Structure 1
């Protein structure tokens, strides 16, 4: 295995479009790093540059101790799993697994050993004689993973490998990929637009928007301390609720014209914004039906009640913004159309500057959140 280091990596196409605006980060040896962001954010382009399938316009890419900017893909000691399974339909599972090794001139004994080992790890050992057309979508994806696994590469690159699977298969394959990483201790870089995949798989996550890195951190730190409004709204399912607040002349926070009881540290941190607007973030699980206005509360109009078994989502509106609250199962459900008070703990509020969209220091610590 090996570490991967990117220093100022940029991708500029011939028409002047900048797909990646400068990536600086390091993937540790054995780490599972996820690149996440909406379509068009540059995550797949970044992965393809690491693979050598896209040229690097500026910056330096190193795998291990070797700079690989001008090294051919086949010589980078990487293996890539694509969104499409790309299996040979006329070949058996065993032949698909072994194909790359044969091209590299491995001996029959070595091919047989590596194929059997990968098949055992991925639970394919009873399917080696089947053709891809006889496999389910999850089984085909395991074959695609196995084809990379037999290579025993320094780095695994996975480009949205689960996007063609249904919801249940995606969940089971996420678990299989996580188990595979723990078993191999391999360096893996995984691209997805699905923030749930990112949060459940990644040891660290790189959040991208418009070709620019927004934040790099562990899943829970990203959730508890988003660096800006984009990260706050992108990570979390449902996303963080955002409200317009105002810091009054006396330093108190007001939401919907009502005062919110902040602690001294929050009040001190907001003191520089007196007389100015702030964006206030509240996670759906921090909103509760009822409660007193003396601590913190907002008034909403309930639009939709969505029970999903283990939890209930309330979709409401307030001041022209959608508000989502998460309730535990078994609670008495309000009726759509009702006017509700949703209470929250002020200590768990997040604050963002409306101009820079950056996080403000009055936001809660990870322990409080």
Structure 2
């Protein structure tokens, strides 16, 4: 039905308002999405803009499958150009806007495809044990129970041999880290 609606929309070349709770439908059919939460507009934008740069924790967790990983974190140092973020197994140096002044406590967001295992001896942000593996054919997701008690989704190549019970040390791409204010849910970086 999603394909039929998309074909109809393109053939009619008319503005269409489509209401759905299904993010796949929204991402497939929309040129622009309005994400609503309890009657309030959280963010308006093109589908990939919402995915790549969510402006609130709600949008970050709503758009994308699996949902964006979010963890409480601490800013341990910051100056005009950078900030250092502390996680249980390591620190992350991040660039920051000169005018920004991050609170000490933040929420870090990182998508499953932007993190992965690191070899022994390499710096890691987190460690944990694989609790579930989803082999979906075109991709594989491992769900890792971190030593700190969080559950993270990590994307692996479809041919990966990752297994339940395996211990992993994880790191990510600092340029794909999303930072949010834990009180307001608003994006910081």
TM over 0.5: yes
1:309 is aligned to 137
Contact 1:242 1:280 in 2 (8 A): yes
Name the SS for the 1:300 alignment partner. Answer: strand
Counterparts of residues 165-314 of structure 1 (less than 5 Å) = 173-249=1-77, 251-262=83-94, 265-266=95-96, 268=98, 272-273=101-102, 276-291=104-119, 293-294=122-123, 297-314=125-142
1:94 is aligned to none
- Change in Cα spacing, 1:313 to 1:191, as seen in structure 2 (3 Å) is same
Moved over 4 A (4+): 267-270
Counterparts of residues 13-32 of structure 1 (less than 5 Å) = none
1:353 is aligned to 181
Q: In structure 2, list runs of 5 or more residues that go unmatched.
A: none
Contact 1:293 1:343 in 2 (8 A): no
- Give, in whole Å, the separation in 1 of the partners of 2:99 and 2:130: 33
The partner residue of 1:340 within 148, 157, 168 is: 168
- Give, in whole Å, the separation in 2 of the partners of 1:208 and 1:252: 33
- Give, in whole Å, the separation in 2 of the partners of 1:298 and 1:342: 5
- Change in Cα spacing, 1:347 to 1:212, as seen in structure 2 (3 Å) is same
Alpha-carbon shift at residue 304 of structure 1 (Å): 0.6
Contact 2:89 2:125 in 1 (8 A): no
Q: In structure 1, list runs of 5 or more residues that go unmatched.
A: 1-172, 363-369
Name the SS for the 2:65 alignment partner. Answer: coil
Once the two structures are superposed, residues 166-191 of structure 1 have per-residue CA deviations (whole angstroms, 9 ceiling, x without a partner) of xxxxxxx2122111111110121111
| TM-score, length-scaled by structure 1 | 0.47
- Give, in whole Å, the separation in 1 of the partners of 2:55 and 2:180: 9
Indicate the structure with greater strand content: 2
Instruction: Report how many residues are paired.
Output: 183
Alpha-carbon shift at residue 300 of structure 1 (Å): 1.9
- Give, in whole Å, the separation in 1 of the partners of 2:73 and 2:31: 34
Alpha-carbon shift at residue 224 of structure 1 (Å): 0.9
Please say if 1:324 is aligned against 2:156: no
Counterparts of residues 144-159 of structure 1 (less than 5 Å) = none
- Give, in whole Å, the separation in 2 of the partners of 1:197 and 1:221: 16
Alpha-carbon shift at residue 355 of structure 1 (Å): 1.2
Contact 1:252 1:267 in 2 (8 A): no
For the aligned residues, what is the CA RMSD?
1.9
- Give, in whole Å, the separation in 1 of the partners of 2:76 and 2:122: 18
Alpha-carbon shift at residue 257 of structure 1 (Å): 5.0
- Give, in whole Å, the separation in 2 of the partners of 1:246 and 1:193: 33
